[in-house]
Structure 1
Amino acid sequence: MSESRTMPERTVVEGRGSRVFHGQGPVVVPAWWIWLAAWPVTAVFILSNAATPLYVLWQRDIGFSKGTLTVIFAFYIVGLLGSLLVSGVVSDRLGRKPVLLPALVLALAACAIFATASSVAALVVARLFTGIAVGAVVSAGMAAVSDVAGQERKRRAALLASCAMVFGAGLGPLLAGVMSEVLPAPTVAVFVVEAVFLLTAVVAVVRMPIPRPETPSGGSRVRIPGVPQGSGIQLTLGIAVFAPGITATSFVLSLGPSLLSGLLGTTSRVVAGSMAFAMFLTATGVQFAVQRLSRRTILAAGAASTTLSMVTLIVAVHTSSVPVLIASALLAGAGQGMGQLGGLSLLNSAVPPQRLAEANSALNMGGYVLAGVLPVSAGYLSDAVGLTRGATVFGALLMTLAVVGGCVVAANRLRTTESA
């Protein structure tokens, strides 16, 4: 089934699914290829948060404030959003590999810059490159998993693509936290290991059995991603829950180490990395736990989890309670995981493969715009009025948005009753 085989083949698009035919009939892609197709998503998302426990080292060596830290994080969002404007549309027209391979090369470049960073500018560039690579994998990479799975296994594809994203996002800070404590040259060793992961992802993409796209249509390749007519409500419902969820986890990633330092008086990179890992491990596990529930139930539970996360965040910063802060992080992970699974499942059920990467881009743009603006604002507000007040304002605002998202899902119950 690899595209490198010399056997003649033709690609036939059947409804919303694609099959590759080899002369005598269709060849079924083995189930293990679906898991392997998700590896590039995991590898790039390991990079996306690997720097989180290391910022305390860079702050010590370079010297910058919490506000500057959130700006460095925001450049990741800038790169991601810029990538989403292009990668989804280009992937649907030219294929997944022409988007994924350059993204992996850029991720390797980001590793090199992180490993040698000695200024804020270097960190900004590395985060920008990382964001561009992540934008490519959340559109083309997740769509590739669906392509490999085919129409008959679209539910499994949505689950594995979503879990690959959140598991990688959690594994990155854990590995970085542990390795930076036990290995020499902590800001170098982490990214050397990650570069090896990315190289294996390159091999996986090259060998991936992805159907060739149909003849590209005209139109601009740089545009605001969208969905086909009639699928707008599925996109809206997904964003309504996914956006507050990923904003909550983004806050924990960007300011979690500062909160731990304030509450515990510690700058342990293992503790910071472990909290982020536990958050995303929860996001992974909860998706397997709820996969057979209706989409409406999954989305409603995601909104409720994000709401409770912000309540516990406010309690944590006012009581200086580390256990409550950890509970807030775990609830945030559950909220993102369920919002992400519900949103991807809705899109997989309503959008044909020819537009799926663009639809994935639209969902993630809706989430990451909020995830970029609010944590940065909270960082600068915390510099001005203190971390406790800044986190309180952030928590109250995001809690309101999560409640609104839950209400949007409840008002559209007929659209979300099918199982994920």
Structure 2
Amino acid sequence: MRMTAASRLTTSTRSFFFVAAAFSIIMIGATLPTSIYRFYEQRYAFPPTTITVIFACYALGALAALLIAGNWSDQLGRRSMLLWGLVASAASGVEFLVADGLPALMLGRVLSGISAGIFTGTATVAVIEQAPQKWQRQATFAATASNVLGLGLGPVLSGVLVDLCPWPTRLSFAVHLALVVLGMFFIIRAPETAKLPDRAHLRMQCISLPPEVRTIFVPAALAGFSGFVVLGFFTAVSPQLARTLLGFKSGAAIGGTIFLFFVFSALGQAAPAHIPFRVRLAIGCGGLILGLVCMAACVQWTSPFLLFMGVILAGMGQGVSFRASLSELASKSPLQQRAGVISSFFVVLFVALSIPVIAVGFVIQHEGIRLATLLFAWLTTAVVVVALAMLLRREGEQPSRGIV
């Protein structure tokens, strides 16, 4: 039976939402432990450095997946790679359910990172390619919004469950495991969108870029790096800051604060696409700088209000710069190299997500949360200022008219 235009549209729309939902489910797992770290500290007497190392294992797993398999979906297909990402997420959930010490927790985070590393590049491209024709101009926003929505929901889900339910170190992962099974159903039902070669040639992802994107990759990577350094701080360190310095008691309240960061990141990503790339990146860097200044002031004067202002401004700045960078790279990349370019971009982001957080944990252990937060805020502000200065020196950036 011949499929009508209306039925084709319905199928395309359903597949688009299926892939976007699976993307969010995977990213929930990335931040799910945020509200649970304190229970690990209590149960195993972990110092602050250990907690940040556990967090960083996620980024290392994601980096490994991006470097090894970042461009494999161009060869094996989007759907196959997304299913492998879901399998890795399920393995992570099982590992957390049976974890009984530091090695198991680190392995669980590595598996979660592998899952996210597979999804970040592949699912971003898949959401863009699954979008119905009438939504193409909003396709990149849909992909990044799926990403940050999941990241924001992770701390909220675990925060509510640890406040209201028993088994604080287990139940959240059991719930997420059920969501992963649902995600597998979604991906199985979605069609393949990649144009596959007759013979697959698998190779590691190299940070080599086609000429079309080389001139924009540096400013995009600088802005993205700065934003993800801040994101890493909020997801790994800010719960301890909120508990020990600002007196937050509820896991749901702490998770809600982190969720606020991702809400405003999503709002920042909704910035009008017709604004030139260079201007959007400058606005994003400005938001990050203001947010970091508020974070430093929050610690200096022990003010929850300034914490919320920092969350809002930094989240908005991170969202603006992230979507502007990703949109420009996606629109300028040749179709057969798009997944590889986007995966290279995420390699930079996951480096930002891991190494600075471990450094902050080291300072917390030896000097305390107050000094660590102040040093983080001012040093990261300096990095963003340098990135902004380099960006403003670049000439000739034009707004993209492609995928936004």
Same structural fold, with TM-score higher than 0.5 when normalized by the shorter chain: yes
1:319 has 2:301 as partner: yes
Residue segments in structure 1 that go unaligned for 5+ positions in a row: 1-6, 9-21
Q: Deviations over 1:232-290 (max 9, x none)?
A: 12222221111111110110111111111222334421121111111111111222244
**1:116 alignment counterpart:** 98
**What is the SS of the residue equivalent to 2:380?**
helix
C-alpha contact 1:35 1:160 (8 A) present in aligned 2: no
1:56 has 2:38 as partner: yes
* Shift in Å, 1:218: 7.4
% same residue: 26
- Take 1:391 and 1:120, find their aligned partners in 2: how far apart are those partners? 25
Residue 355 of structure 1, aligned match among 324, 331, 337: 337
C-alpha contact 1:54 1:176 (8 A) present in aligned 2: yes
* Shift in Å, 1:217: 7.0
C-alpha contact 1:56 1:267 (8 A) present in aligned 2: no
**1:215 alignment counterpart:** 197
Residue 186 of structure 1, aligned match among 168, 176, 179: 168
- Take 1:225 and 1:204, find their aligned partners in 2: how far apart are those partners? 31
How many residue pairs end up in the alignment? 400
Going from structure 1 to structure 2, the CA distance change for 1:297 and 1:252 (only over 3 Å counts) comes to same
* Shift in Å, 1:133: 0.4
- Take 2:98 and 2:318, find their aligned partners in 1: how far apart are those partners? 32
**2:153 alignment counterpart:** 171
Going from structure 1 to structure 2, the CA distance change for 1:413 and 1:207 (only over 3 Å counts) comes to farther
* Shift in Å, 1:219: 6.0
**2:242 alignment counterpart:** 260
Match for 1:169: what amino acid?
L
* Shift in Å, 1:321: 1.1
1:40 has 2:37 as partner: no
**1:16 alignment counterpart:** none
Match for 2:332: what amino acid?
A
* Shift in Å, 1:192: 1.7
- Take 1:46 and 1:122, find their aligned partners in 2: how far apart are those partners? 20
- Take 1:55 and 1:131, find their aligned partners in 2: how far apart are those partners? 17
* Shift in Å, 1:220: 5.7
Going from structure 1 to structure 2, the CA distance change for 1:418 and 1:211 (only over 3 Å counts) comes to closer
Going from structure 1 to structure 2, the CA distance change for 1:115 and 1:331 (only over 3 Å counts) comes to farther
Comparing 84-93 with 214-223, greater Cα deviation is found at 214-223
Scaled by the length of structure 1, what TM-score is found? 0.89
- Take 1:216 and 1:263, find their aligned partners in 2: how far apart are those partners? 59
Going from structure 1 to structure 2, the CA distance change for 1:218 and 1:232 (only over 3 Å counts) comes to farther
* Shift in Å, 1:100: 1.1
**2:138 alignment counterpart:** 156
C-alpha contact 1:249 1:329 (8 A) present in aligned 2: no
**1:135 alignment counterpart:** 117
Match for 1:327: what amino acid?
M
* Shift in Å, 1:393: 1.5
Residue 332 of structure 1, aligned match among 293, 308, 314: 314
- Take 2:194 and 2:234, find their aligned partners in 1: how far apart are those partners? 40
**1:195 alignment counterpart:** 177
Scaled by the length of structure 2, what TM-score is found? 0.93
**2:59 alignment counterpart:** 77
Residue 267 of structure 2, aligned match among 269, 285, 300: 285
**What is the SS of the residue equivalent to 2:118?**
helix
Root-mean-square deviation (Å):
2.3
1:246 has 2:228 as partner: yes
* Shift in Å, 1:41: 1.2
Going from structure 1 to structure 2, the CA distance change for 1:251 and 1:119 (only over 3 Å counts) comes to same
